[in-house]
Amino acid sequence: MVEAVALTDAAGGSEDGATRAVVVLSDGQDNAISGARLDDIVTMSRNEVHVTWSGREADDPSADDGKPVAKRRVLGDSLRLSTRQPVQIFFIGFGDADIDVGRVMAQATSAEFQGSTDEDLAAVIEEFGAYF
C-alpha cells in the first residue's frame, strides 16, 4: 500500500492539487509481504485516543491508554504517509477480506469502502466506477 500511494502521488498528467486515488481489491487478509503496518499508512483513534494496529488478522488494535479496542470501533483519521497531492484509498473487499482494515483506510482518506460477495463483485466495481 505504501508503494501504491507513492506511485499514485508521483503520477503525472494531472494539475497540482488534484486528488489521486488508489483502488484496493482484496479477497483476503494482509499477508505482511510489504512489511508495512496499517498504522504506518494511516492514523487511527477511538474516543479521541490514538490507536495502534498492524491491520493483520492475528493482531488486535490497542489504544495509547492501554485499553484494547474492537476492530469495528477503530476510526481512520488521516493518511500518515507524506504526499504532494491528496490521495484517497478506495477499498473493495470480497471473500475473506478484512473489511475493517479497508474501512479504516478509506475513512482516513475520505474515500469509500464496500464489502461484496464474489457474485456481486462486478456490480460493486461498476458502482465505484462512478468516482472515476
Instruction: Answer yes or no: are the C-beta atoms of 110 and 42 closer than 8 Å.
Output: no
pLDDT in tens, 21-66: 999 988 776 666 667 899 999 999 999 999 999 998 888 999 998 8
Residues whose CB is less than 8 angstroms from the CB of residue 11 and which lie 6 or more positions away in sequence, other chains included: 20
Q: What is the pTM of this model?
A: 0.87
pLDDT in tens, 90-108: 999 888 888 999 999 999 9
Q: What pLDDT score was predicted for residue 26?
A: 87
Give yes or no for residue 85 having a pLDDT over 80. Answer: yes
- The strands making up 113-116's β-sheet, listed across from edge to edge, are 20-26, 87-94, 113-116
Domain spans of the chain, in order of start: 2-108+117-131
Q: Is the dihedral of CA 94, 100, 103, 109 positive or negative?
A: negative
